[in-house]
Amino acid sequence: MEHQTYFDNLDEIENKWRNLKHEGFSQKLRDEFWGLCMKGQELFWQMAISDRRNGYSMVKTVPAFQRSIMLLEYEQRYKDAIRMCEEANKWGINTDWYFKRIEKLSKKI
C-alpha cells in the first residue's frame, strides 16, 4: 500500500469534520464522513501491516478512529464509541486518549 493514500484520506477526514461542524451534522454529511473514517481505518491497518513487515513501529495516532468515536459520541451512541475505544486499546493505538475517552463516555451512559 502506498502511504500517501492513507495521508490523503486523513486530509479528507479532517476537511469533512470541519464541514460537519460548520454546516451542521446532516445525515448525508455524517454518512459521507463515516465512509471516509471506515476507509481510513482499513488504510491504517494496511499501512500498519506493511510497516511491521519492514521493521517499523505502528503509528500511535489514528484520526480515522478518533473522529469515528467523536461522531458516535455526537450521535449519542456511547456504547459503540466505547467498543471502538476498547478495540484501539487492544492494538495499542494511543491508549491514553482512548482510556480518557472511555471514562468520559461511561459518565454519559
pLDDT tens digit sequence for 9-36: 999 999 999 999 999 889 999 999 999 9
Residue span of the structural domain in which 96 resides = 3-108
47-55: long-range contacts (C-beta < 8 A, 24 or more apart)? 47/1, 47/3, 47/6, 50/1
Q: What H or E segment, with its residue span, contains residue 2? A: none
Q: Which residues contact 20 (CB under 8 A, 6 or more apart)?
A: 29, 30, 33, 71
Q: Please count the structural domains in the chain.
A: 1
Within 8 A by CB and 6+ apart from 24, the residues are none
Name the pTM for this structure: 0.87
- pLDDT score, position 1: 57
Q: Which long-range contacts (CB under 8 A, 24 or more apart) does 76-82 make?
A: 76/108, 78/105, 78/106, 78/108, 78/109, 79/109, 81/105, 82/106
Calculate the average pLDDT of the chain: 91
Could you read off the pLDDT of 24-80 as tens digits, one per residue? 889 999 999 999 999 999 999 888 888 889 998 877 778 899 999 999 999 999 999
